Amino acid sequence: MKSGFLVFFLHILLPLTSVNQITASKDFIRYEDCKTTINDVVNQTVQWKITKMTKSWQIKLNLKNNLIRTQAKQLRDKEDFLNTMEQTNKNLESRLVSAERQSKSIYEKLTDQISTQAKQLKEKDDLLSSMTQTVKDLKSRLESAEGQSKSFIEERTECPNGSPSGIYKIQIPGIKYFEAPCDEDGWLTIQRRMDGSEDFNRTWEDYKNGFGDVRQEFFLGLEKLYRLTDSAQYELYIVLGDVNGTSKYAYYDSFGIDSEAESYRIKDVYSHFIGGPAGHSLIYNAWDKFSTYDRDNDLSNENCAVKYGGGWWYDRCGISTLNGLYLKDGVVGNKVFGIHWGTWSPKAFEFSLTFVEMKIRRINPEL
């Protein structure tokens, strides 16, 4: 039976031919003799199997260990990342808290500023309201004062003698009151040339109504002159100056003009020249009508107002033209005429005067 088992076992471990050879051999080894050999083979086979399985499990174990190490590293990396994120969050929270504090501080400051500005604005509004009311009160008082002084203004028909020099309101019958320069001696300025700021080459209507600034260059107006000189007797004082600073005057003890119906004709001045270093250049202008570039009333074949560049009481253009073209340097060019007063000097027409003031004053205003 043992021999049969041995043969079976040999069939398992050895090829069929070898088994047959062994079993057929006369020198077949007895079971007892082969027992040690079989055990060795079995042990070797088992050991080989175990070794093979061990190596396989070892490989698998190594793979598992590697996977575990990789996963552990990934876990540590994630943990580090989470720690970093946590620290970042803490930093952000700290900055957020700081920003909230700053925002709160800024908000409180802005609130205080707005409150202060609102208070200041209210104070300014109150001040403005108070000032507005003050202005209204002053305006009311001024209107009241104007109403109280209206009769006084209406009665003032000439410059006040002995009062300070300045701009006064004059009221004469037939026209609205107007402003005029008056000096302390009672002279009323009716015309002024000083810097060329005003154009005197004007229409008939302009000369009739007046133009310019009574504080600078101006012409009072023919209608006002007529109303003034028709209501009382006036005298005339003319102040002249040249570019070198030389000043002269001419004085007439009577001056007046007619109405517009008579073209504002100047009355007799021929015999009323009293004196003055400037001389008597109105000698040829007695009873001459006033002329402008659009209303030619002179006795010349040409329009003298066009020739000299300003309205005047022209005869045949004559030797005086105080409303002519203003030349700042006083130089008269070729065929250019300026402001002339023929009796100023023998060479009066070789240059242009640079300053003129015509003044009138009522004679015996107390009568």
Q: 335 vs 147, 159, 171, 294, 317, CA distance in Å?
A: 54, 41, 43, 21, 14
What pLDDT does 2 receive? 45
The span from the CA of 231 to the CA of 171, in Å, is 12
- What is the amino acid identity at position 44? Q
The span from the CA of 25 to the CA of 18, in Å, is 10
pLDDT of 218 over the 80 cut? yes
pLDDT digits (tens, 9 = 90+) for 64-90: 888 888 888 888 888 888 888 888 888
Q: Which of 92-96, 204-208, 295-299 has the lowest mean pLDDT?
A: 92-96
Confidence of residue 155 (pLDDT cuts 50, 70, 90): very low
What pLDDT does 40 receive? 78
In this structure, is the dihedral angle defined by the CA atoms of residues 163, 165, 169 and 172, taken in order, positive or negative?
A: positive
Q: Pick from 339, 293, 354, 311: which is nearest to 210 by CA?
A: 311
Q: Are 186 and 365 in contact (CB under 8 A)?
A: yes
Strand partners, 248: 240
What pLDDT does 154 receive? 39
Q: Are 352 and 340 in contact (CB under 8 A)?
A: yes
pLDDT digits (tens, 9 = 90+) for 345-363: 999 999 999 999 999 999 9
pLDDT digits (tens, 9 = 90+) for 1-12: 545 555 455 555
Say if pTM beats, i.e. exceeds, 0.85: no
What pLDDT does 367 receive? 47
Largest CA distance in the chain: 197
The span from the CA of 319 to the CA of 23, in Å, is 179
- What is the amino acid identity at position 235? E
Q: Pick from 238, 275, 268: which is nearest to 254 by CA?
A: 268
In the chain, the percentage of residues whose pLDDT exceeds 90 is 49
289 or 268, which is more confident: 289
Confidence of residue 146 (pLDDT cuts 50, 70, 90): low
**φ, ψ of residue 193 in degrees (nearest 5):** -125, 130
Which tokens sit at 313?
């009481």
* 314-337 mean pLDDT: 89
Which tokens sit at 324?
């002519």
* 283-312 mean pLDDT: 95
Tokens 């002339």 map to which residue? 340
> Over the chain, what is the mean pLDDT?
85
